[in-house]
Amino acid sequence: MGRPVKIAIVGAGSVYTPELLDMIGQMRDSFNVEELRLYDIDLGRLDIMYGFTQRFMNNINHPMRIVREPERVKAIMDVDFVVTQIRVGGIPARILDETIPNKHGLIGQETTGAGGMSKALRTIPQMIDIANDVAKYNPSAWIINYTNPTGIIAEAVTKYTNANIVSLCGGGRHPGNMLYRSLGIEHKRVRYDYFGLNHFNFSYNITIDGRPATDEEWAAMANQIGQNVELIQKMKLLPSLYLPTFFNFRSKLKTQQEQEMTRGQFIMTILDELYRQYADPNVCTKPELLSKRGGGDYAEMAIGVMQALADNLDSFFVCNVPNNGAIPFLPKDAVIETACMVNSAGVTPITFKSFPDSVWGIVSQVKNYESLTVEAAVHGDRDKALFALQFHPLVMDTDVAKAVLDELLEAHRQYLPQFFPKG
């Protein structure tokens, strides 16, 4: 059992919170959480999740102290970790990020392209405010970020605040998941190099028990993905599950434009029922419906990284952190998603031995978009937003970029005061 820790959740009204509760319960014998503070700007959802959290922990007989805290500064004071999982504008804003790009012949997705930029522009100022509070009132705490687009958020926070932050994504466990599902190989036996950005990355040099993955194992992983199987086997690169958005742009766009509802619209259909179940005084376990919301591996990575930082456990995790020379052709302060060693000293990127020559150019292109998006969000700079979007691989058209950018900014005007200083 490690040292006792305190955790605050900013955005605790999220339906993802029970994933963290479940993992805290599963790891109770090795990760000693003595207090959990719940904070959210939506007091109704905060009350629902506070009640559910009490019932959940009572059901598993966990002694952790649970605090409902409606004031953010009080929530983050004297804790070891601040988990951030906010969504500025909620699911209705996500739906606009999906549908508006589709109208302009573009992919509508919440973490990349036009939709991803839109989410970043309204989220970055809020995350910088949170991070500045952490840096001011609790400078030794670590922010464990799951707010999307997580890599862009990490870059904004590390460039414009003094807070400690590590941004995570379940995609970092992708190669291990593929091998476990196809061949039953446990995660702890698998290691790999990991090159790229959040939702735009490639795993390679995959080893199992220290030996290179065989052709048969590569075939098994490729077949698990189900798209571009032959390409994956030839390149010996396991792409992010988001890469079909780039590799199969036309078919992906056609599917989006023909589907009855976007992913955001589907989520809207289950949210009310999820909160109804969380509010039910008879419900004290994680609802089965939550599995339809997504977010696989969320809690495993969040709790695992916190444990490694708190208890000085040398642990291998894929994290979004500043490059600091790991990729020499990208700026040092650019945030990349890469394999890291995590312990009480912090989160350190593992130095690359080689780079996959078939994809480093497009990774650089997307990173340029991300860094310009950070500057646009912080300074309310429409020109930089346009520069970023027009050369994104999913856009590559100045006229279209300007039209979709103007419409997205206007649609989200209430969340973008930096772009509308006169209101």
Domain limits at 10? 1-423
The number of domains in the chain is 1
Distances (CA, A) of 287 to 38, 232, 330: 19, 36, 43
- Looking up tokens 């189900």, which residue turns up? 226
The pair of three-digit structure tokens given for residue 41, joined into one six-digit string = 């700007």
- Looking up tokens 């650019």, which residue turns up? 334
Show Cβ contacts of residue 244 under 8 Å, excluding neighbours closer than 6 positions.
227, 228, 252
Among 45, 21, 16, CA closest to 272: 45
The DSSP code for 350 is P
The pair of three-digit structure tokens given for residue 156, joined into one six-digit string = 């904004």
Among 191, 201, 203, CA closest to 316: 191
The pair of three-digit structure tokens given for residue 35, joined into one six-digit string = 């207090």
Q: What pLDDT shows up at residue 42?
A: 97
Q: What pLDDT shows up at residue 295?
A: 60
Q: What pLDDT shows up at residue 73?
A: 98
Would you write out the chain's pLDDT as a tens digit for each of its 423 residues? 789 999 999 999 999 999 999 999 999 999 999 999 999 999 999 999 999 999 999 999 999 999 999 999 999 999 999 999 999 999 999 999 999 999 999 999 999 999 999 999 999 999 999 999 999 999 999 999 999 999 999 999 999 999 999 999 988 787 888 888 888 889 889 888 889 999 999 999 999 999 999 999 999 888 888 888 888 888 899 898 888 899 899 999 999 999 999 999 999 999 999 999 999 999 999 999 988 876 657 899 999 999 999 999 999 899 999 999 999 899 999 999 998 999 999 999 987 778 888 999 999 999 999 999 999 999 999 999 999 999 999 999 999 999 999 999 999 999 999 999 987
Contact criterion met (CB below 8 Å) for 150 and 172: no
Among 92, 157, 85, CA closest to 125: 157
Active-site residue 242, yes or no? yes
Q: What does the alpha-carbon distance between residue 119 and residue 110 come to, in Å, rounded to a whole number? A: 7
CATH number for the domain spanning 196: value is 3.90.1820.10
Q: What pLDDT shows up at residue 278?
A: 96
Contact criterion met (CB below 8 Å) for 81 and 165: no
Contact criterion met (CB below 8 Å) for 159 and 323: no
CA pseudo-torsion sign 90, 94, 95, 97: positive
Q: What does the alpha-carbon distance between residue 48 and residue 326 come to, in Å, rounded to a whole number? A: 44
Q: What does the alpha-carbon distance between residue 295 and residue 196 come to, in Å, rounded to a whole number? A: 20
Residue 201: phi and psi, rounded to 5, are: -145, 165
Catalytic one of 204, 242, 275, 298: 242
- DSSP per position, 4-52: -EEEEEETTTSTTHHHHHHHHHHTTTTS-EEEEEEE-S-HHHHHHHHHH
Show Cβ contacts of residue 153 under 8 Å, excluding neighbours closer than 6 positions.
120, 123, 124, 127, 145, 147, 167
Which residues in 196-226 are b (16+ Cβ under 10 Å) and which e?
bbbbbbbbbbbebeeeebeeebbbbbbebbe
Q: What does the alpha-carbon distance between residue 337 and residue 193 come to, in Å, rounded to a whole number? A: 11
Among 333, 7, 399, CA closest to 154: 333
Q: What pLDDT shows up at residue 296?
A: 59
Residues paired with residue 202 on neighbouring β-strands, in sequence order: 195, 239
Q: What pLDDT shows up at residue 366?
A: 97
Q: What does the alpha-carbon distance between residue 57 and residue 37 come to, in Å, rounded to a whole number? A: 13
Q: What pLDDT shows up at residue 199?
A: 93
Q: What ranges in 104-239 are assigned the alpha helix state H?
A: 113-137, 150-160, 174-183, 215-225, 229-235
